[in-house]
Structure 1
């Protein structure tokens, strides 16, 4: 069975980059320990430090949805309320 690949693009407001970055970093340890998490890798754009990208692979969509419903995601959303310009998530399947 093919993993579910998630590409999440997060753009922080210019004056909130460090806050958003720290809160995203806080998600990593918890998420990597979750059932079904194959990888959960955070990137920061080299030319636009306000742009972050999570590249994730999950064993199933159901396990990813459980991740999205976890308390640490709710805590991240509360901590960054009003600090994020955009948040776009794409569910993808590797084809090659």
Structure 2
């Protein structure tokens, strides 16, 4: 079984920072309780409050795929619709 790491860079629009922060914070507890979630850590840039990073570690790709199909993740996507200036994510496998 190969662990999967996800690093999501989330940039809120200037007028949506508080809303995006709230939506991200609401997403953390139910995600951390999911089967296969090793960690799900939200970070905010000290110099740019519109920039958030979600550092995720999953037991395997199937666990992460199940996460993106949960009702709480769907609600998060609906909540932030139109509120982001930029979003990128990387799916990574630890090699050492």
Please, what TM-score do these two structures have when normalized by structure 2? 0.96
Which residue number in structure 2 is paired with residue 37 of structure 1?
Answer: 37
RMSD of aligned Cα (Å) = 0.8
In the alignment of these two chains, the number of paired residues is: 96
| Structure 1 residues 36-65: Cα deviation after superposition (integer angstroms, max 9, x where no partner) | 000000000011110000001000101101
Structure 1: segments with no counterpart, 5+ residues:
none
Secondary structure, aligned partner of 1:49: coil
Q: How does 1:1-96 map to 2 (within 5 A)?
A: 1-96=1-96
Q: What is the TM-score with the length of structure 1 in the denominator? A: 0.96
Provide structure 2 residue ranges, at least 5 long, that are not aligned to the other structure: none
